[in-house]
A and B are shown apart, each in its own frame.
Chain A
């Protein structure tokens, strides 16, 4: 297809010819075109189908406000639906398809909806599809879902890369139109750190679309000159293709930069970057958006905004029609006719709603004042208009201007409300603006070019003053004169046909009237009931029109009617950009233990515990099920020796003259009496008396302790203790620092653990039972001088140690331990075996320390010292936490030992129904014990300590299981602790 509608002039690069496809038809355009301008150049009028009625639609704007020309860009996994053709930059090889039609674009079978429109008016779905009820899920909903939406996703993973970033500036200028450029020049020349962001791919805004002059040069040339100067300033960051989409607290803005959307191949670079911009001050120069007038069949292809027509003619060098008419209620609309004539394009007529003398003379065009367009003809492209005067005119393009609405959106993102300016017939920024924000140019109601340039300069000067800077004597650019008179006119009452207010959601003037009649009178209700202002364009051209009509219905003023709330984002943000890099394995950081490489070599199955990757079990040849590996590891450890990486446990280094006293306050039990060289189990309560965490704390010196926490609570315990130190007891001499990362720590457990370590610990350190008894700790060296810390503590219930070396030696250490224990057939064991052994021993862990249990529940009530105060002491004595028959941690074994237990099962009296009323507690942890050869469990049950031997039922309605279990001691293995102390 040749570029039949390409005309001379414009800012496109005619030396850069691009080939692209629309609905598989090859077409051509130029560098600097948008898809929309290229389609117009190629004579394409029908671009898509409307949302509800599938009416033929064309291009209606030349910017982000586009409601009609939505296309699917690219192919395969790169497909992006609902892209506005008006902002899609053309590139060589671009492929686009129209959307929302069944069958070809020109013959959409779903267009039958248009004929059913009397049944599909606003809110129809709230009133229909109710009977028969059974059909809703099976028929109505699937059909509606299949019909709804515009484009469709590829269903594949998005292959593009996305990124995020942070920027800082003295002044963020949002929009690089005349006011934005003027402000940037003033602030930039003064040396301020400026960010100038604009959603377009060239800066200049409307200067590129108009024929005004600035400083005696064409506006676009002035913009180009200004832009070039700004690019030379090191203190100014120029960001084209960047939409500032949201204003957040404290001068922070969200911005989306489209980096490779205009390229055929992004070469693996991020397609888009989501920026967080921290600004001291901001100046909103976002311009304004032209709105339409509602009249009969005002949605036909070829009917577009008057300003957009000027954009296509002046900037892109294409004409949307050969015989154009203009329908306006303001002076600005006339400029379209004048510019078209200047390009040699026939202007059939200018129809102005105002009964005033024509503001301009347009040669060879009918000028009809005080008249309205009441209807149009031409299903796939307008060819005739009918006027209220009874005249009928042939035209292939109707340029409509209902006035301009300042883009106040970002001024309202923190619940600011704009105010109505009756003279200019538009909302302007009002009320409280976001912190540090000023507004200039058309966004503030400065509707002439000179006023915009002046406001931009003055706005920047004022901001510079507030920053303690001066404007370096920049002068205000001078612009050609223009008139911007407007008389509010919203819809043509004589129209009998449907008149469209929101083209994207197929909302008509009748829908708004119906909404009012049915009681949905608030603008917020109007929006929800009719869908006015929803979807990708967020009603940029429709909202003011819609609420003005609602105001008419209700007899209120527009100001009284108000606006809906503006929320971010200003324009759509792809989900991929919001995700940024956080996808796949990079969804979040991961933490590796010092033995990770060793574990990989041992074919470990890893489990995520928080961000840590821990070895869950270590399968050997012939093992095909995790239980085989786990059982073997448990048996080997209990029979001889095993090693487990416990680096993940939190380690907090505590020093200070008041360290012991501090621990007495944060722990329920006493640490002041702990001797140097000894370790003690510690129980930490929350302020409300519930158990927070547990662990061991070693006294390395008079004023030096090393605390271990659970892996899960390492951060929260440290934070809690810092809060206590800094806020509760700032006068205590105690200092904390995390040492979790500093030490690679391994549990070496089993009857041969001492012998194993004796092979490794340097001989000058006596670690015999006599010299280094249970709960001893100390600093040692290993392998000829490597510093280490040794703790004789046990989670498994076996003779056991934990030994720590600086992390740099962590890999060497695990290999050395394996070497040292080789003669005892040492095995590495994972978290599964660790869990089995602690359940066999009856040690509480995360399942029991679940945020609802007390020390008494866990059988540790005696640890809450009454001789001292501590966090949680008082509230742990609450009556509600100390019932007559408290939940108590005990063991459970199945009566039929061939049956497996399940965690989460609730206990009821044997034979009783599994109801909440009969609930007596729940199973917290279960495991298969390879020592006992049957399933075992720990659980909390009322008065458990006094019910040993009783049979109760562990009911799990979720799994539809019910198992009789015997209440037993929680200590299945070595209940007297003999193995620990040998």
Chain B
């Protein structure tokens, strides 16, 4: 039947808040694919990624950007990476973007709908995140191009630094409201 209406809904409705030194913007067009390396397949995977995306595999906590500048590879744990790239629902399944290129050299799983992604930036971003983020976000410790898995307000969070004062933070879709509340309350608490 063709009379059904399916709407791709951002988890937080495309939340956007820009105020007083910190902006919070939901990333609504983000494809996320988990890539795992088969045992003894490191070299083959590295080669296929180099060939397809023009970048090498980052180490755990590292980030590599594809030569096109449109894909970020986050090293999350040994033998596992998340690939982040711009993707909209109209483009079909995000999984294909990666899986079609990597073939049997990787085990790929679509994670695009598993995570709510918030870009948190601004001169007071770190001051706000101090209230919930247990890891050290000082530039000397957590420079641009690093990623970490941690917990904030009991929620699992992947945080990566995208600029001196810019972070991308990902947490589980189902608890997106609690995650957003944790961040917006932090901003509220540190701003006049």
Chain A interface residues (CB < 8 Å from chain B):
161, 163-168, 193, 269-270, 273, 276, 278, 581, 586, 588-593, 611-612, 647, 653, 655-657, 703, 731-733, 735, 737-743, 759-760, 782-784, 786-787, 806-813, 815-816, 819-820
Residues of chain B contacted by A809 (CB below 8 angstroms): 6-9
Q: Pick the most buried of A590, A739, A808: most chain B CB atoms within 10 A of its CB.
A: A808
Residues of chain B contacted by A737 (CB below 8 angstroms): 34, 36, 80, 109, 111
| A165 with B109, Cβ < 8 A, contacts A589-B175, A592-B177, A741-B172 known | no
* Contact (Cβ within 8 A) B1 A586: no
| A163 with B189, Cβ < 8 A, contacts A168-B138, A731-B39, A807-B173 known | yes
**B185 smallest CB distance to A (angstroms):** 7
* Contact (Cβ within 8 A) B130 A166: yes
| A655 with B107, Cβ < 8 A, contacts A741-B114, A741-B172, A741-B174 known | yes
| A808 with B9, Cβ < 8 A, contacts A590-B178, A591-B172, A760-B4 known | yes
Q: Pick the most buried of A591, A759, A816: most chain B CB atoms within 10 A of its CB.
A: A591
Residues of chain B contacted by A739 (CB below 8 angstroms): 109, 111, 114
CA gap between A395 and B76 in the complex, in Å: 73
| A806 with B113, Cβ < 8 A, contacts A163-B189, A592-B174, A741-B172 known | yes
* Contact (Cβ within 8 A) A735 B114: no
B189's contact among A270, A741, A759, A819, by CB below 8 Å, is which? Answer: A270
- Between-chain CB contacts (< 8 Å), 29 pairs: A161-B189, A165-B131, A168-B136, A193-B138, A278-B136, A586-B181, A589-B153, A590-B175, A591-B172, A655-B107, A656-B39, A657-B38, A703-B107, A731-B39, A732-B39, A733-B39, A739-B111, A740-B114, A741-B174, A742-B114, A743-B113, A784-B2, A806-B112, A807-B11, A808-B11, A808-B113, A812-B6, A812-B9, A820-B1
* Contact (Cβ within 8 A) B155 A168: no
B44 within 8 A of A: no
* Contact (Cβ within 8 A) A808 B34: no
| A783 with B113, Cβ < 8 A, contacts A168-B138, A581-B153, A735-B36 known | no
CA gap between A819 and B3 in the complex, in Å: 10
By Cβ-Cβ distance, the 8 closest A-B pairs, closest first, are A589-B178, A735-B36, A591-B174, A807-B113, A168-B136, A655-B107, A783-B4, A741-B114
Residues of chain A contacted by B136 (CB below 8 angstroms): 168, 278
Residues of chain A contacted by B173 (CB below 8 angstroms): 741, 807
Residues of chain A contacted by B10 (CB below 8 angstroms): 808
* Contact (Cβ within 8 A) A733 B178: no
B73 within 8 A of A: no
A813's contact among B6, B34, B155, by CB below 8 Å, is which? Answer: B6
Q: Which residue of A lies closest to B76 (CB)?
A: A737
CA gap between A886 and B7 in the complex, in Å: 53
B110 within 8 A of A: yes
CA gap between A155 and B126 in the complex, in Å: 37
CA gap between A809 and B11 in the complex, in Å: 10
Q: Which B164-183 residues have a C-beta within 8 angstroms of A?
A: 172-179, 181-182
* Contact (Cβ within 8 A) B113 A741: yes
* Contact (Cβ within 8 A) B38 A656: yes
Q: Which residue of B lies closest to A738 (CB)?
A: B114
B103 within 8 A of A: no
CA gap between A787 and B95 in the complex, in Å: 12
**B120 smallest CB distance to A (angstroms):** 16
* Contact (Cβ within 8 A) A166 B133: yes
CA gap between A653 and B114 in the complex, in Å: 12
A590's contact among B5, B39, B107, B177, by CB below 8 Å, is which? Answer: B177
B9's contact among A164, A590, A703, A811, by CB below 8 Å, is which? Answer: A811
* Contact (Cβ within 8 A) B174 A593: yes
Residues of chain B contacted by A810 (CB below 8 angstroms): 9
Q: Which residue of B lies closest to A651 (CB)?
A: B114
Residues of chain B contacted by A269 (CB below 8 angstroms): 189
B52 within 8 A of A: no
6 additional A-B residue pairs with CB within 8 Å, beyond A165-B131, A586-B178, A589-B155: A161-B189, A592-B176, A735-B79, A760-B4, A806-B110, A816-B6
Residues of chain A contacted by B79 (CB below 8 angstroms): 735
* Contact (Cβ within 8 A) B175 A611: yes
Residues of chain A contacted by B5 (CB below 8 angstroms): 812, 815-816
CA gap between A972 and B130 in the complex, in Å: 56
Residues of chain B contacted by A168 (CB below 8 angstroms): 136, 138, 141
| A612 with B114, Cβ < 8 A, contacts A166-B133, A786-B6 known | no
Q: Which residue of A lies closest to B28 (CB)?
A: A808
Residues of chain A contacted by B89 (CB below 8 angstroms): 808
CA gap between A454 and B8 in the complex, in Å: 66
* Contact (Cβ within 8 A) B1 A783: yes
Q: Which residue of A lies closest to B150 (CB)?
A: A166
Residues of chain A contacted by B172 (CB below 8 angstroms): 591, 741
* Contact (Cβ within 8 A) B7 A760: no
* Contact (Cβ within 8 A) B179 A589: yes
Residues of chain A contacted by B130 (CB below 8 angstroms): 165-167
Residues of chain A contacted by B6 (CB below 8 angstroms): 782-783, 786, 809, 812-813, 816
* Contact (Cβ within 8 A) B155 A816: no
Residues of chain B contacted by A820 (CB below 8 angstroms): 1, 4
B93 within 8 A of A: yes
CA gap between A657 and B173 in the complex, in Å: 30
| A816 with B4, Cβ < 8 A, contacts A164-B131, A655-B36 known | yes
Residues of chain B contacted by A811 (CB below 8 angstroms): 7, 9
Q: Which residue of B lies closest to A763 (CB)?
A: B1
CA gap between A741 and B175 in the complex, in Å: 10
Residues of chain A contacted by B111 (CB below 8 angstroms): 737, 739, 742
Residues of chain A contacted by B39 (CB below 8 angstroms): 656-657, 731-733
Q: Pick the most buried of B2, B79, B153: most chain A CB atoms within 10 A of its CB.
A: B153
CA gap between A786 and B6 in the complex, in Å: 8
CA gap between A742 and B155 in the complex, in Å: 17
| A819 with B109, Cβ < 8 A, contacts A741-B172, A787-B93, A807-B173 known | no
CA gap between A315 and B133 in the complex, in Å: 39
* Contact (Cβ within 8 A) A276 B8: no
Q: Give a binary string over B109-151; 1 marks a CB under 8 Å from any A CB, 0 the rest.
A: 1111111000000000000001111111010010000000000
* Contact (Cβ within 8 A) A735 B189: no
CA gap between A760 and B134 in the complex, in Å: 46
Residues of chain B contacted by A812 (CB below 8 angstroms): 4-7, 9
CA gap between A586 and B181 in the complex, in Å: 9
CA gap between A653 and B113 in the complex, in Å: 14
CA gap between A194 and B123 in the complex, in Å: 20
Residues of chain A contacted by B154 (CB below 8 angstroms): 588-589
CA gap between A168 and B107 in the complex, in Å: 38
| A612 with B131, Cβ < 8 A, contacts A586-B181, A739-B114, A807-B113 known | no
**A354 smallest CB distance to B (angstroms):** 52
Q: Which residue of B lies closest to A819 (CB)?
A: B4
Residues of chain B contacted by A815 (CB below 8 angstroms): 5
Residues of chain B contacted by A760 (CB below 8 angstroms): 1, 4
CA gap between A854 and B174 in the complex, in Å: 33
**B190 smallest CB distance to A (angstroms):** 9
Residues of chain A contacted by B36 (CB below 8 angstroms): 655, 735, 737
Q: Which residue of A lies closest to B113 (CB)?
A: A807
| A655 with B7, Cβ < 8 A, contacts A165-B131, A611-B175, A733-B39 known | no
* Contact (Cβ within 8 A) A808 B8: yes
**B156 smallest CB distance to A (angstroms):** 10
* Contact (Cβ within 8 A) B38 A733: yes
**B35 smallest CB distance to A (angstroms):** 10
Q: Which residue of A lies closest to B7 (CB)?
A: A812
* Contact (Cβ within 8 A) A166 B134: yes
Q: Which B1-43 residues have a C-beta within 8 angstroms of A?
A: 1-11, 34, 36, 38-39
A735's contact among B1, B4, B80, B175, by CB below 8 Å, is which? Answer: B80
CA gap between A166 and B138 in the complex, in Å: 12
Q: Give a binary string over B69-80; 1 marks a CB under 8 Å from any A CB, 0 the rest.
A: 000000000011
* Contact (Cβ within 8 A) A742 B2: no
CA gap between A739 and B177 in the complex, in Å: 19
Residues of chain A contacted by B155 (CB below 8 angstroms): 589
